[in-house]
Structure 1
Amino acid sequence: MSALFGLVGFVKGRELPNIVFLMSDDQSTYTLGCYGNPDVQTPNIDRLAEEGLAFDKHYVTTAICMASRATVMTGMYEYKHGTNFSHGEMLTSVWAKSYPRLLRESGYRTAFAGKFGFDLRETPNSPKLELPADDFDGWGGGPDQTFYETKRNESMAAYAKEYPHSTLSYGAFGRDFIRDSAKSEQPFCLSISFKAPHKPATPDRRFDHVYAGKTFSKPANYGREHGEHFSKQSKQDRQYERFHSWNYSDKYDEVMAIYHQQVYAIDVAVGMIREVLEDAGVADNTVIIYTSDNGFFCGSHGYGSKVLPYEESTRVPLIIHDPRHPNSGKGLRSAALTANIDFAPTILSLGGVPVPSKMDGKDLMELYDNPEAELHDSIALINVWGKAPTHALGVVTKDLKYVHWAYADEGFEVTEELYHLDKDPLELVDLSRNPEYRSDLKSMRELYDQELAAWKRESVEYNNYQPYGTIFDREVPWSKKRLLFERHQPQD
């Protein structure tokens, strides 16, 4: 046992737990039985929810993988970690305060497998660095999007013969790391980022039978007729055209069968991990967290893909199981507002590690103690990626969502949207012009302005984040924003 671990092996008189953090890619809430879909088979994840705590209002603060994964690791909003496609990579000084680095420094045995999701640089203009494999005791990670073919993922090639599809290979990686770690006196933290069910849709063929010939119920907000009230800005990028090009419009059952089949394989991998926790004798002291990096439209409102600050894109599954806790095994759910900024503080707190003051999130285990409690009053929803019109800033509370579309070049006008999520969870009615909701609109604008003030105050000075403090300012006319926008607009 290391001398360092000997100092932190216990916190408040209790043995530190092992931690398993599992994250899928592009998984919507309606892929899971425990979120109310009777058309799917997800027995292992459903059991995890029944034995733990499921969260019904959990959001990603940026609904695209690179920024979302950076937020998970750092506990900070995108404008503070400064990491996203077309903006730039994470600096090593930011990575140094991520939960994997801090946990390992405190004495945890750590491992990562799957899609790492972002690169590192020493400074904004220095060369890209290799992925930080040396920062983990076990490494099965890969760059960029990684591959569904296990043999093409260099760090996972040893699993290719038995598990040619990557999803189950990550289950096997987790199995082996847990077995080895159970022999150690150190607590462990295993983080797995599945590639599934990210496009291009490539299911594990051993599960072709699961949804063969299946017909799936469409959500009540499916189709273009349910997106006419969305902003013109939101219709200017690939999310809109992919309703057709990705065949949600004409081959819905076929497309969704493949999508759900990929999630089914994740469910099998979750079962592999839970089984080895039991076999290794560490299940009773291992906290499991399951979530996704962002959601997916799958035809809702006549959109495909993600990115935009609407529910299907930003609200994702979250399940936590802490077998040590008296609230486990009760099938409890929390309606508290939570977000992906909360993962790093939660994991560090579980490990008895001080949470850096720059982190924006809070400890989700407060809700495990009391599922009726609240954690956040509001959460910011960010998009500064893709075509200029789709850039938006929003704010969500338990009941309301406000989105501000700032782009107002020729053919566009500044647009606001307001939704009462408690009454209208499918976002079918924009209330921003409804006089009965004038007071709600005012209060949400005030929350929006508070979030923007934090952006202006705390955004990094590199990777083109500071200009958005002006671009998203409701009081600044487009004539003053336009030149600033063009000057600092990242290229696709």
Structure 2
Amino acid sequence: MTTNKFGLPSRVVCIAVWLLVTDRLLTGALMADDSVARDDARQDSSPPNVVLIISDDQAWNDYGFMGHSEIETPNLDRLAREGARFDRGYVPTALCRPSLATLLTGHYASSHGITGNDPSPKYAAVGSDLYKVRCEELISNIDRFKTLPARLKEVGYLSHQSGKLWEGSFQRSGFTHGMTRGFPQQGGRHGDDGLTIGRKGIEPIRDFLDEAQEQSKPFFLWYAPFLPHEPHNPPPRLLKKYTAKTDSLPLAKYHAMCEWFDETCGELIGEIEQRKLSENTLIVYVTDNGWIQNVDRRGFAPRSKQSPNEGGIRTPILYHWPNKIAPQQRQELATSLDIPATILAVAGAEVPAEFPGLNLLPHLLDQSEIQRDQIYGEGFAHDIADLNDPSASLLYLWTIKGRWKLLMGQDGEVNRYASAHADRSSSPQLFDLQSDPSEMENVAEDHPKLVAEMTKDIADYWKP
């Protein structure tokens, strides 16, 4: 048997060396596995990203997943199929600016003070110095609130604004990144540069996603494209597709716009997936207000935008978060007021106790029933008669309780766009949404006790 200079058999030395090398290799492999495990754990424990997609002027049933016979929306259909789907979703106000301000602040329009789109030109001519002062006064309401993106910034989020934004620049509304310069900049009424998103690609969003990843920061994305909003000028390929389905050119244009919007959502979702961010990203979908296309000419039909009818306030609401929120079709009432509270909860931020909306996260995760059977809303004129008195432009109050919906007309000043409120009535209007979802039959006289109860509910709720 051979020995080395230490007097040990060579075979023993070989075995010792083999054991040492094997140990080092195993240790290295275990360390590598442990490193991967830590990375996975870090990814699982990192705050989730949030994408808020907001459609602009779209009816609640103008989607494939809601049963439309012609409009194709495969990307939103997928979100609905894979996530939590609320078919009975609502916005509290059927007009874009107050509706978007509700998403930013978490409050009703009567509370945040942005009740209409513009100060009334009846009291100050558009473009006059006084009108500009009132525009700034209206925007300044946002300064009274810590907005959703501002709250998310406090817990480490970057945020990006694209599309519609009325309340000044993206910085003023609390975003860290964005596109809108805002009033008083040129074209700053409702989005300026931000309105190109979707219609002209999503390159600014790509750049933001790259920056967020480089900084290893969670992000909040506000995607509120000017779609399917007028102008209804869809790509020729889509217009050709829908003109073959209807004799109404205005209707074909609108339907094509809905699919174009869906395509841009698919492009955005694709960017999330390409960066392997899907598993840690919550996507929320809502529309700002409804729309029923006039079949004879451009513009919307009555009982849709600006009205408290289902065509004005109803919207599907979707929550999509792979492997966290299981596919579920919810039967409960939901409202856009729930969205800020739920997003804050997802991000691990404090949900203000004064928020009227609910944090739905626990119910989305365990699919438990939401203990709420009643929601409320308010309808205001497009133009604001008195910036300090919401009642001056209040046209409707409404509540939905289970299957029943009560509309109460109010005597606020309409100014322009009176045709949108042609059916405003001072008498109670009660509808059974289960048997009459189109609200064709007012059954208030048949249910006086129910009308009295729901009228009292509205009176208790309305405290601007």
For the superposition of Structure 1 and Structure 2, which TM-score range results when normalised by the shorter chain? 0.7 to 0.9
Identify if the C-alpha distance between structure 1 residues 169 and 347 changes in structure 2 by more than 3 Å, giving closer, same or farther.
Answer: farther
Matches within 5 A, 1:328-347: 328=326, 330=327, 332-347=328-343
**SS state of the match for residue 241, structure 2?**
coil
What corresponds to 1:486 in structure 2?
none
Q: How far off is 1:360 after superposition?
A: 1.2
1:132 paired residue among 150, 164, 171:
171
Q: Counterpart in 1 of 2:50?
A: 19
After alignment, is 194-203 or 362-371 more displaced? 362-371
Per the alignment, do residues 403 and 31 of structure 1 end up closer, same or farther by CA in structure 2, a change over 3 Å counting?
A: same
TM-score, structure 2 as length reference: 0.74
1:444 to 418, 432, 454: 454
CA 1:294–1:428: 2 relative to 1, 3 Å: same
Matching residue of 2:291? 296
* Aligned counterparts, 1:93-492, within 5 A: 93-95=143-145, 97-119=146-168, 130-132=169-171, 135-141=174-180, 143=182, 153-154=192-193, 166-169=197-200, 171-205=202-236, 207-215=238-246, 253-298=248-293, 303=302, 305-325=304-324, 327-328=325-326, 330=327, 332-371=328-367, 373-386=369-382, 391-407=395-411, 414-434=426-446, 437-452=447-462, 455=463, 459=464
Q: Deviations over 1:337-384 (max 9, x none)?
A: 111111111111111010122321111323423546125332222112
Structure 2 CA distance for aligned equivalents of residues 33 and 89 of structure 1 = 37
Q: Which moved more, 1:254-263 or 1:131-140?
A: 131-140
**Residues 430-477 of structure 1, C-alpha deviation per residue, up to 9 Å, x if partnerless?**
11111xx2332232122212212xx1xxx3xxxxxxxxxxxxxxxxxx
SS at match of 2:53: strand
Q: For 1:134 and 1:83, how far apart are their aligned partners in 2?
A: 13
**Which amino acid in the other structure matches residue 379 of structure 1?**
I
Report the CA distance between 1:178 and its aligned residue.
2.1
Shift of the alpha carbon at 1:316? 1.0
Residue identity in the other structure for 1:91: N
Cα distance per residue 1:31-59 (max 9 Å; x no partner)? 20011112111111101111111111111
**Structure 1 contact 81–90 (Cα < 8 Å) conserved:** no
**Deviation sequence 1:239-259 (CA, Å, 0-9, x none):** xxxxxxxxxxxx7x3212111
Match of 2:315, SS state, is coil
Change (3 A) 1:38 1:176: farther
Q: 1:295 to 1:131 in 2, by over 3 A?
A: same
CA deviation string 1:213-259 (max 9, x = no partner): 212xxxxxxxxxxxxxxxxxxxxxxxxxxxxxxxxxxx7x3212111
Change in CA separation of 1:350 and 1:180 when aligned onto 2, cut-off 3 Å? same
CA distance in 2, matches of 1:172, 1:268: 15
| Equivalent residue, structure 1, for 2:128 | none
8 Å Cα contact 2:83/2:318 also seen in 1: yes
Q: Distance in 2 between matches of 1:89 and 1:346?
A: 25
Residue type at the aligned position of 2:156: G
Deviations 1:42-95 (A, max 9, x none): 111101111111111111101001110110111101111111335633424434
Q: Residue 165 of structure 2 aligns to which amino acid in structure 1?
A: F
Aligned to 1:429, the other structure's residue is in SS state coil
Distance 1:209 1:173 in 2: 30
Kindly indicate whether the alpha-carbon contact (under 8 Å) linking 2:60 and 2:315 is maintained by their aligned counterparts in 1.
Answer: yes
Change (3 A) 1:134 1:62: closer
SS of residue in 1 equivalent to 2:438: coil
Please give the secondary structure, in 2, of the residue aligned with 1:261: helix
Alignment correspondent of 2:421: none
Q: Distance in 2 between matches of 1:354 and 1:41?
A: 38
Q: How many residue pairs were aligned? A: 378
Q: Offset at 1:141?
A: 2.7
Distance of 1:408 and 1:340 partners within structure 2? 24
Question: How many Å separate the matches in 2 of 1:143 and 1:93?
Answer: 14
Pair 1:62–1:92, CA change in 2 (3 A): closer
Once the 2 structures are TM-superposed, how far is the Cα of residue 273 of structure 1 from its aligned partner? Answer: 1.4
- Which runs of no fewer than 5 residues in structure 1 stay unpaired? 1-9, 120-129, 157-164, 216-250, 460-492
Give the C-alpha shift of residue 137 in structure 1.
3.1
Contact 2:147–2:174 at 8 Å: present in 1 too? no
Q: Is the 1:401–1:420 Cα contact (8 Å) retained in structure 2? A: yes
**Residue 75 to residue 208, structure 1, CA distance change in 2 (3 Å):** same
> Could you say which residue in structure 2 is the equivalent of 1:244?
none
Shift of 1:305: 4.9
**1:345 alignment partner AA:** A
- Match of 1:110, SS state, is strand
Q: Is the 8 A contact 1:333 1:371 kept in 2?
A: no
Identity across aligned pairs (percent)? 26
Q: When the two structures are superposed, what TM-score results if normalisation uses the length of structure 1?
A: 0.70
* Larger Rg over CA atoms: 2
Taking the aligned partners of 2:265 and 2:250, their CA distance within structure 1 comes to 23
| Residue segments in structure 2 that go unaligned for 5+ positions in a row | 1-40, 120-137, 384-391, 414-423
- How far is 1:391 from its partner? 0.7
Residues in 2 aligned to 1:60 and 1:402: alpha-carbon distance in whole angstroms: 15
- 1:421 Cα deviation after fit: 0.9
Match of 1:227 in 2: none
